[in-house]
Copies of this chain bind each other. A is one copy, B any other.
């Protein structure tokens, strides 16, 4: 029913996660209403992002350069390493502006049920880096989940002979949450990890 070029563009938007038929249609039609310079810019940006962006060879954060803006920054604290499951999380922490150490980005988390094993998420590179760079602390900043727990324990085991403090993010009741909407696993964790009020 739609002209072919609109149909193609709808298909393209559906490549993106979380975009279904209806949203793809709405977005495709809204592209038609952009100025010509905008659509040219848009098309070029899609091509460029794909050709220019790659992983930092040290830590896997996405970058246009050989080393990312963190690894390139001499003012960062090189004693502490934050391990994340996705490059987006680096930017998430950087936006907070309160962490000044280094990062390492894994290719996701270990998930045997989905066939994602330790060798699939780039652990070799992480372990090699940890041996080389002599960190004093390693923070696992994975999402609180079975996969996050599994991955953290797996890496901790490999590192057990080394003299490194290994930590994870605190889990618990999110600030501002209504207690009745907090799931039981989170509540259990919050109770176990309770802190003394000083």
Contact surface of A with B, Cβ cutoff 8 Å = 1-6, 8-9, 11-12, 15-19, 25-32, 34, 36, 38-50, 52-53, 62-64, 69, 87-88, 91, 94-95
Contact = CB atoms under 8 A, between A and B. Distances in A.
Given A62-B6, A64-B5, A46 B39 contact: yes
B48 A1 contact: no
Nearest to A27: B16
Nearest to A29: B88
Contact of A3 (B36, B46, B64): B64
Contacts of A1: 69, 91, 94-95
A197 B62 CA distance: 65
28 contacts: A1-B91, A3-B52, A3-B62, A3-B64, A4-B64, A6-B53, A9-B46, A9-B49, A11-B45, A12-B45, A12-B46, A15-B34, A15-B38, A15-B42, A16-B27, A16-B31, A17-B26, A19-B27, A31-B50, A32-B53, A36-B50, A39-B46, A42-B43, A42-B46, A43-B43, A43-B44, A43-B46, A46-B46
A90 to B, nearest CB: 9
A41 B53 contact: no
B43 A8 contact: no
A192 to B, nearest CB: 32
A37 to B, nearest CB: 10
Contacts of A39: 46-47, 49-50
